[in-house]
A and B are shown apart, each in its own frame.
Chain A
Amino acid sequence: MSVSTEAAAHGHDVHEGHPEYMRHQFDDMDQQNDAASLGMWLFLLTEVMFFGGFFLGYSIYRSEYYDSFVIGSQNLDVFLGGLNTVALITSSVTMAFAVRAAQLGKKNHIIAFLVLTLVLGLVFMVNKYIEYSHKLHDGLIPGYNFLWTGAGDGQTIQLFYGFYFCMTGTHGLHVLIGLVLIVWLLIRVCQNKFTTEYYAPIENFGLYWHFVDLVWIFLFPLLYLIGGLVV
Chain B
Amino acid sequence: MSEHAEHGPQAGDHHGPHIATSANYLTIFAALLFLTAVTVWVATVDLGVLNTLVAMAIASVKAILVILYFMHLKFSPGQTKLAAAAAIFWLLILLIITFFDYIGRTWQDNPPGW
Bind each other: yes
Residues of chain A whose beta carbon lies under 8 Å from any beta carbon of chain B: 1-3, 14, 16-18, 24, 27-28, 30, 33-34, 37-38, 41-42, 44-45, 48-49, 52-53, 55-56, 59-60, 63, 78, 82, 85-86, 89-90, 92-93, 95-97, 100, 103-104, 203, 206-207, 210-211, 213-214, 217-218, 220-222, 225-231
Whole-angstrom CA separation of A92 from B31 in the bound complex:
13
A34 touches which one: B67, B70, B77, B98 (CB < 8 A)?
A: B77
- Please report the C-alpha to C-alpha distance between residue A213 and residue B69 in the assembled complex, in whole angstroms: 13
Top 4 closest A-B pairs, CB basis? A221-B55, A229-B43, A41-B83, A225-B43
> Could you say which interface size class chain B belongs to?
35 or more
Tell whether, in the assembled complex, residue A37 and residue B76 are in contact, meaning their CB atoms are under 8 Å apart.
yes
The residue in A92, A221, A229 that gathers the most chain B C-beta atoms within 10 A of its C-beta is: A221
A-B contact count (CB 8 A): 146
Q: A34-B80, A210-B71 are in contact. Are A225 and B55 (CB under 8 A)?
A: yes
A–B Cβ pairs within 8 angstroms, 23 of them = A2-B1, A24-B1, A30-B13, A34-B77, A44-B87, A56-B95, A82-B36, A100-B19, A103-B19, A104-B19, A206-B70, A210-B66, A210-B70, A211-B71, A213-B70, A217-B62, A220-B59, A221-B55, A221-B59, A226-B52, A227-B51, A228-B46, A229-B43
Q: Are B94 and A49 interface neighbours, CB within 8 A? A: yes
Q: Is the CB of A30 within 8 A of B14?
A: yes
Q: Which of A97, A213, A214 lies in contact with B22, CB distance below 8 A?
A: A97
Query: Closest CB of chain B to A1's CB: distance in Å?
Result: 7
A113 to B41, alpha carbons, bound, how many Å?
31
**Per DSSP, are chain A's interface residues mostly helix, strand or loop, or mixed?**
helix
CA of A92 to CA of B67 in the docked complex: distance in angstroms? 11
- A17-B1, A103-B17 given. 18 additional CB < 8 A pairs? A1-B1, A34-B79, A37-B76, A41-B87, A49-B87, A49-B91, A53-B94, A78-B40, A93-B26, A96-B69, A97-B22, A206-B70, A206-B71, A213-B66, A220-B59, A221-B59, A225-B43, A225-B55
